[in-house]
């Protein structure tokens, strides 16, 4: 691969007690690459994301971000969490804060920005996700799609090196899925490094550089979307695709 690696996992293994959830994972994500991760429920997709953000520890193997091993604790760990933005299925906004406060809060607390600088940047980002006019509202006053776009703006406010999306549209009503995917497509076009767990195959075809197919904690396929969708190698992937397409 010609591009500079940003995220590298080498021979990563993770267990929950007896359960071996990540098995010999080798994955390199280059700067500006968009990698879509798909696979059956329970195959380890969320765990993979959570280990990269160090929400979970691993029992063996190495994970590096921009050439540096993931930090163990303290301020370095807080910085890592800021550098690898994560967007979940549930939006996890602060219910008693306004949209603007939700996007500004960590900028002040973690990035130590002045409140007015943080608010200015928050407004720029809310504009970018099409929600500047909602800045004074509370999360409960927004639709699910709007809340998820706020969550994306909040992660971007930390100026992350990479963004991880774990089924960001799975909890949304169908008519709201596209407004969130559109924000993600734009991010991809702008060169953000992204790992996206999703069942949205249209997004994978249009925006992914690679599709990673996982089953039983292993990476079974890691190929271009064209190759993967037209000619999957493994029976597991063929079987999976026949069920969702």
Give me the residues that bind ligand ADP (CB under 6 A), please.
Answer: 16, 19, 21, 39, 41-47
Q: Is the dihedral of CA 92, 95, 98, 104 positive or negative?
A: negative
What is the number of the residue whose Cβ is closest to Mg ion? 46
Shortest Cβ 43–Mg ion spacing (Å):
8
Cβ proximity to ligand ADP: between 44 and 168 the closer is 44
Could you tell me which residues are beta bridge partners of residue 8?
Answer: 28, 64
* H or E, element range at 49: helix 45-52
Cβ proximity to ligand ADP: between 2 and 19 the closer is 19
Shortest Cβ 33–ligand ADP spacing (Å):
21
Shortest Cβ 49–ligand ADP spacing (Å):
8
User: What contacts 232, CB < 8 A, 6 or more positions away?
Assistant: 213, 221, 238, 241
Shortest Cβ 170–Mg ion spacing (Å):
9
Cβ proximity to Mg ion: between 5 and 40 the closer is 40
Interacting residues with Mg ion (CB under 5 A): 45-46
Binding partner of residue 242 among Mg ion, ligand ADP, none, CB cut-off 5 to 8 Å per kind: none
Binding partner of residue 19 among ligand ADP, Mg ion, none, CB cut-off 5 to 8 Å per kind: ligand ADP
Q: How far is CA 25 from CA 21, 84, 114, 165, 218, in A?
A: 10, 19, 41, 19, 6
Measure the CA–CA gap between 93 and 88, rounded to whole angstroms. 11
Residue 199, phi then psi, degrees to nearest 5: -100, 5
Cβ proximity to ligand ADP: between 33 and 167 the closer is 167
* H or E, element range at 45: helix 45-52
> Token pair of 147, please?
């809340």
Cβ proximity to ligand ADP: between 19 and 95 the closer is 19
Shortest Cβ 40–ligand ADP spacing (Å):
7
């Amino acid at each position: 691969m010609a591009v500079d690696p940003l995220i590298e996992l080498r021979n990563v293994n993770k267990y929950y007690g007896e359960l071996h959830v990540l098995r010999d994972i080798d994955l390199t994500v280059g700067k500006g690459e968009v990698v879509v991760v798909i696979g059956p429920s329970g195959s380890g997709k969320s765990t993979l994301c959570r280990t990269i953000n160090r929400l979970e520890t691993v029992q063996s193997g190495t994970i590096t971000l921009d050439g540096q091993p993931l930090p163990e604790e303290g301020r370095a760990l807080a910085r890592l969490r800021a550098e690898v933005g994560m967007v979940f299925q549930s939006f996890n906004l602060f219910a008693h804060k306004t949209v603007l406060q939700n996007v500004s809060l960590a900028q002040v607390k973690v990035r130590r920005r002045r409140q007015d600088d943080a608010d200015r940047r928050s407004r720029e980002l809310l504009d970018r996700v099409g929600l500047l006019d909602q800045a004074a509202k509370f999360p409960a006053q927004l639709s699910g799609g709007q809340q998820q776009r706020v969550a994306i703006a909040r992660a971007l406010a930390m100026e992350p090196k990479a963004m991880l999306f774990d089924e960001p549209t799975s909890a949304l009503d169908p008519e709201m899925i596209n407004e969130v995917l559109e924000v993600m497509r734009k991010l991809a076009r702008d060169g953000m490094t992204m790992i996206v767990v999703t069942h949205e195959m249209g997004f994978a075809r249009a925006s992914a550089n690679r599709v990673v197919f996982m089953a039983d904690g292993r990476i079974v396929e890691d190929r271009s979307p064209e190759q993967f969708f037209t000619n999957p190698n493994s029976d597991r992937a063929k079987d999976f695709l026949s069920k969702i397409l």
